[in-house]
């Protein structure tokens, strides 16, 4: 007989105790707390589950134990990972704050490297081509100044261009008009 067969062995159920009080109409009145009722139902359910197996329920107990072991292992691994992560973050933060030793190709100490020195080195490196001799900082500063000038001075520059254009148009138009009149021999 397989453990999955529909034929289940009979489980003896305890005989019910006589009712605490009987009413004249034949109904039973008993006082049971919620906790007692839950414990009774859970106990009965567990007994029925254990009764399905010939070994008295050890498979259920083993399954519950395996599930608990998996949960405990997962929680322990998560906590260990958290603690290791905090330790690594603290060590890296300390190293970045204090700096670290730089060595040459022979492993000899060649100074200390800090985040500040790396940033300065990055900003002050010259361009790679022969004609590009500006540092990154100079290039970025130049771009920011040009952008600020365009943003702040752009409307003023456009207004000045318009005024110059108007003056030139007026003068050129006047000169052309005079030349045409003079050429035609017409006097104003």
Q: What is the DSSP letter of 36?
A: H
If we measure between CA atoms, which residue out of 143, 118, 117, 119 comes closest to residue 134? 143
Average pLDDT in the chain: 76
Res 122 pLDDT > 80: yes
More confident of the two residues 10 and 146: 146
Least confident range from 19-28, 49-58, 81-90: namely 19-28
pLDDT tens-digit profile of 46-63? 666 666 554 555 777 777
Res 82 pLDDT > 80: yes
Res 19 pLDDT > 60: no
For residues 45 and 157, what is the distance between their CA atoms, to the nearest angstrom? 89
More confident of the two residues 188 and 162: 162
Q: Is the dihedral of CA 160, 164, 170, 171 positive or negative?
A: positive
Beta partners for residue 101, in sequence order: 112
Q: Residue 27, by phi and psi: left (phi above 0), alpha (psi -120 to 50) or beta?
A: beta
The pLDDT of residue 144: 92
Domain boundaries, the chain: 1-55, 57-95, 136-188
The pLDDT of residue 51: 61
For residues 154 and 160, what is the distance between their CA atoms, to the nearest angstrom? 10
The pLDDT of residue 36: 76
Q: Cα dihedral angle (106, 112, 115, 120), rounded to 10 degrees?
A: -90
More confident of the two residues 73 and 177: 73
For residues 20 and 54, what is the distance between their CA atoms, to the nearest angstrom? 36
Q: Is the pTM of this model over 0.85?
A: no
Res 134 pLDDT > 70: yes
């Amino acid at each position: 007989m397989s453990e999955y067969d529909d034929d289940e062995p009979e489980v003896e159920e305890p005989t019910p105790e006589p009712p605490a009080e009987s009413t004249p109409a034949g109904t039973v009145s008993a006082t049971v707390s919620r906790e007692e009722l839950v414990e009774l139902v859970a106990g009965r359910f567990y007994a029925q589950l254990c009764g399905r197996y010939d070994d008295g329920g050890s498979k259920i107990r083993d399954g519950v134990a395996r599930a608990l072991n998996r949960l405990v292992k997962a929680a322990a691994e998560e906590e260990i990972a958290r603690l290791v992560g905090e330790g690594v973050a603290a060590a890296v933060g300390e190293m970045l704050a204090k700096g670290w030793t730089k060595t040459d190709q022979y492993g000899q100490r060649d100074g200390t490297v800090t985040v500040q020195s790396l940033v300065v080195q990055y900003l002050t490196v010259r361009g790679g081509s022969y004609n590009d001799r500006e540092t990154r900082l100079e290039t970025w500063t130049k771009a920011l100044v040009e952008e600020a000038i365009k943003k702040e001075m752009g409307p003023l520059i456009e207004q000045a261009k318009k005024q110059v254009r108007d003056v030139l148009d007026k003068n050129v138009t006047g000169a052309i008009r005079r030349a045409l009149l003079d050429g035609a021999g017409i006097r104003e």
